[in-house]
Amino acid sequence: MSSVHDLNQPVVLDLGSGLTKGGYAGTPDPSVVIGTLTGHAKLQRVLPSATAAPDMPGTPDGSRGKYGEATSSGGSVFVGEQLRNMCGVLRLEHAMQRGMVTDWSGAEEIWRHVSTDLLSVAHGEHPFLVTENALNARWNRERMGEFFFESLNAPSLCVAVPGVLSLYASGRTSGLVVDVGDTLTTTMAVADGHVDVHAMRRSEVGGRDVTERLGTLLQKSGVSLMGTSSEREAVRRVKERLCYIAEDAREEERRFIDEGVGGGKLGASFRLPDGNVLQVGTERFRAGEIVFRPHLMGAEVDGVAQSVHSCTQAVDMHLRRALYGSVLLSGGSTLLRGFCTRLLREVRALAPSNCKIRIHAPTDRLYSAFTGGSVLACLSTTFRSMAVSRSEYFEHGAGVLHHKCL
Ligand SMILES: Nc1ncnc2c1ncn2[C@@H]1O[C@H](COP(=O)(O)OP(=O)(O)OP(=O)(O)O)[C@@H](O)[C@H]1O
Ligand SMILES: [Mg+2]
């Protein structure tokens, strides 16, 4: 049974391991994007004007401050904008890993902050469409449902796979989606709106691993930047600004050698927050190499091109040609420069020679899952048929979330 609140504008949240993106249905881009991170004070507060630290309990009712500072757990947990403002005095922790929540109180605080504080969603009045990565353990979705129905009082909830939403955003109903996010690479084949679950490939490699590897490579060059969480964040920014995927890693090594010490014009520099200038050489392309060759970080999983190939080979042979001709990139880590060219080259080498390979790389692919969710949630009849209503949830339990949603 639907409630009057089901008619209100749905709220769309793309709950990524790295970034939480949110906004109201109907907007093409998320109006809120924050890291899926929590900050914990690592220094002791000595001035009364300073923001509350763990030794000084916050508001007596356990409510949140201006920046999503939660005090319900006794100590202060910071989320959102405050992480940037208090950079250096907070220890940052990820609330999600490999698409699954690893710190529930942290994740819930982030989701609450986005919905209530930043999007001003009135309690219990707006349906939610949220994303969950494919092939997650069932309990992850059930616990998510508990939060949205029982803490946020959602009148209805729809859970969708981000890759499928990215396909919607591109205006297609068929294609092979390659989603490389912060901690996961997912490859899925969709034909006329039907996902082939058996052909889906998921590997635990993503942008966070690229950042880690960049940090390790820089350390080998004598620059230690992975000691604190704010240093790690600086390494992430270096990655986003300077790293790229080489078309051929061996050839790229040779080019750097030819250029001499520091890689000559192939090297680049980055000004760190302390004013020091960091020189980056071969690390620029070596770090991202793990997305194509995960064995470099010790992972026994296929690289992204091999995943595309094996996903295609796992679907019916009548559909394969069309899929090779309609590969869609999604997720922030596909923004590494050169990603598309390298993928094309490797997939071409693996695919049957008479297959035409076409890769679509929309410029807004960091947010395409949100955009697709925003479009879907505006189709009120479709959305309502896919969403689980509050009454269904309380009547049948959290298991109902596995039956109705994408
Ligand atoms: N311009 C860029 N170049 C390289 N990497 C980028 C760029 N912009 C964002 N990223 C990386 O993309 C990742 C975040 O992408 P995205 O938001 O798609 O992941 P997520 O949905 O949070 O994670 P997951 O899908 O793994 O749960 C981060 O690792 C970030 O560093
Ligand atoms: Mg994602």
| Entry field: residues in the chain | 406
Its domain, for residue 244, covers 207-291
**174 and 135 in contact (C-beta within 8 Å)?**
no
Bridge-partner residues for 178, per DSSP? 187, 329
Residue 20: closest CA among 105, 90, 118, 121: 118
Among residues 260, 291, 322, the one where a domain terminates is 291
Q: Which amino acid is at 86?
A: M
**Angstrom distance (rounded) from CA 213 to CA 252:** 18
User: Taking residues 129-139, what's their average pLDDT?
Assistant: 95
Token output for 10: 């749905």
Residue of 363, 250, 260, 247 whose CA lies nearest to 305: 247
Q: What is the mean pLDDT of residues 51-60?
A: 44
Q: Are residues 28 and 122 in the same domain?
A: yes
User: Where is average pLDDT lowest: 12-16, 38-42, 283-287?
Assistant: 38-42
What percent of the chain is predicted at pLDDT more than 70?
91
Helices then strands, each counted (H, E), the chain: 16, 19
- Does 41 lie in the same domain as 144? yes
Give residue 56's pLDDT band: very low, low, confident or very high (50, 70, 90).
very low
Residue 187 in domain: yes
Radius of gyration of the chain (CA): 22
Task: Check whether residue 186 and residue 326 sit in a common domain.
Answer: yes
The tokens of 172 are what?
């297609």
Q: Per-residue pLDDT for 152 more than 50?
A: yes
- Residue 20: helix, strand or coil by DSSP? strand
Indicate which CATH number applies to the domain containing 276.
Answer: 3.90.640.10
At which of 291, 312, 328 does a domain end?
291
Top pLDDT among 48 and 67 is at 48
- Between the CA of 331 and the centroid of ligand 2 the distance, in Å, is 6
Q: Which residues line ligand 1 (CB under 6 A)?
A: 16-19, 99, 133, 181-184, 206-208, 236, 239-240, 331-333, 335-336, 366
For position 192, what pLDDT does the model report?
Answer: 83
Lowest mean pLDDT among 45-59, 152-166, 363-377: 45-59
Ligand 2 centre distance from Cα of residue 18 (Å): 8
Q: How far does residue 313's CA lie from ligand 2's centre (Å)?
A: 24
Q: Which strand (E) or helix (H) includes residue 278?
A: strand 277-280
Under DSSP, is residue 384 helix (H, G, I), strand (E, B) or coil?
A: helix
Do 122 and 217 fall within a single domain?
Answer: no
Query: Is the residue at 321 inside a domain?
Result: yes
Closest ligand 1 atom to the C-alpha of 18?
A: 22
Instruction: Report the amino acid identity of residue 183.
Output: T
**Assign residue 331 a region: left if phi > 0, alpha if psi is -120 to 50, beta otherwise?**
left
3-state helix, strand, coil in the chain (%, to 5): 45, 20, 40
Q: How far is CA 140 from the centre of its chain?
A: 16
Distance from the CA of 391 to the center of ligand 2, in angstroms? 29
Quick one: 233 and 353 in the same domain? no
Domain co-membership, 47 together with 143: yes
Provide the pLDDT for residue 53.
46
- 305 plus 339 within the same structural domain: yes
- Tell me the residues surrounding ligand 2 (ion) with CB < 5 Å: 16, 162, 181
User: What percentage of the chain carries pLDDT values higher than 90?
Assistant: 81
AA letter at 247: E
Atom in ligand 1 nearest the alpha carbon of residue 19: 22
Extract long-range pairs of 118-122: CB within 8 Å, 24+ residues apart: 118/22, 118/31, 118/32, 118/34, 118/80, 119/11, 119/22, 119/23, 119/24, 119/31, 119/32, 121/11, 121/152
Whether residue 52 is found in the same domain as residue 95: yes
The per-residue pLDDT for 4 is 62
Average pLDDT over residues 221-230: 90
Tokens of 60: 């007596």
DSSP per residue, 70-109: B-TTSS-EE-THHHHHTTTTEEEEESEETTEES-HHHHHH
Cβ neighbours around 32 below 10 Å, total: 17
Instruction: Average the pLDDT over each of 60-69, 362-371, 392-401 and give the range with the smallest value.
Output: 60-69
Give me the number of domains the chain comprises: 3
Identify any residues that bridge with 41 across adjacent strands, giving them in sequence order: 90
In a domain, 346, yes or no: yes
pLDDT category at 54 given cuts 50, 70, 90 is very low
Distance of CA 360 to the CA centre of its chain: 19
Residues 133 and 12 in one domain: yes
Average pLDDT over the chain, rounded to an integer: 91
| DSSP letter (8 states) at residue 138 | H
Region of poorest pLDDT, from 42-51, 138-147, 158-167, 253-262: 42-51
Protein residue whose Cα sits closest to atom 8 of ligand 1: 332
Name the residue among 206, 158, 150 with its Cα closest to residue 25.
Answer: 158
Quick check: is 194 in a domain? yes
256 vs 46: which has the higher pLDDT = 256
Answer whether residue 339 is part of any domain.
Answer: yes
Residue with tokens 């690479």: 185
Residues 127 and 227 in one domain: no
Is 86 in contact with 78 (CB distance < 8 Å)? Answer: yes
User: What pLDDT, in 10s, does the model give residues 317-372?
Assistant: 999 999 999 999 999 999 999 999 999 999 999 999 999 999 999 999 999 999 99
Mean pLDDT of 88-103: 95
Q: Mean pLDDT throughout 246-267?
A: 90
Mutate to test the pocket of ligand 1, among 98, 339, 366 (most ligand atoms within 8 A of CB): 366
For residue 72, pLDDT over 50 is answered with no
393 occurs within a structural domain: yes
Is the pLDDT reported for residue 248 higher than 50? yes
Which CATH number characterizes residue 305's domain?
3.30.420.40
Give residue 63's pLDDT band: very low, low, confident or very high (50, 70, 90).
very low
What is the DSSP-derived secondary structure letter of residue 337?
Answer: B
Q: Which atom of ligand 1 is nearest to the CA of 206?
A: 26
**Residue 71, pLDDT above cutoff 50:** no
Q: What is the mean pLDDT of residues 223-238?
A: 92
Mean pLDDT of 69-77: 57
Q: Is residue 296 part of a domain?
A: no
End of a domain among 237, 264, 291? 291
Ligand 1, atom 15: closest residue by C-alpha: 332
* 87 falls within a domain: yes
Q: Does position 303 have pLDDT exceeding 60, yes or no?
A: yes
- Collapsing DSSP to helix, strand or coil, 2 comes out as coil
**pLDDT at residue 46 in the model:** 72
pLDDT, one tens digit per residue, over 101-113 is: 999 999 999 999 9
pLDDT mean over 268-291 = 96
Q: How far is the CA of 284 from the centre of ligand 1 (A)?
A: 17
At 68, is the pLDDT very low, low, confident or very high (cuts 50, 70, 90)? low
Are 143 and 246 part of one and the same domain? no
Q: Are residues 17 and 145 in the same domain?
A: yes
Nearest CA to ligand 1 atom 18: 331
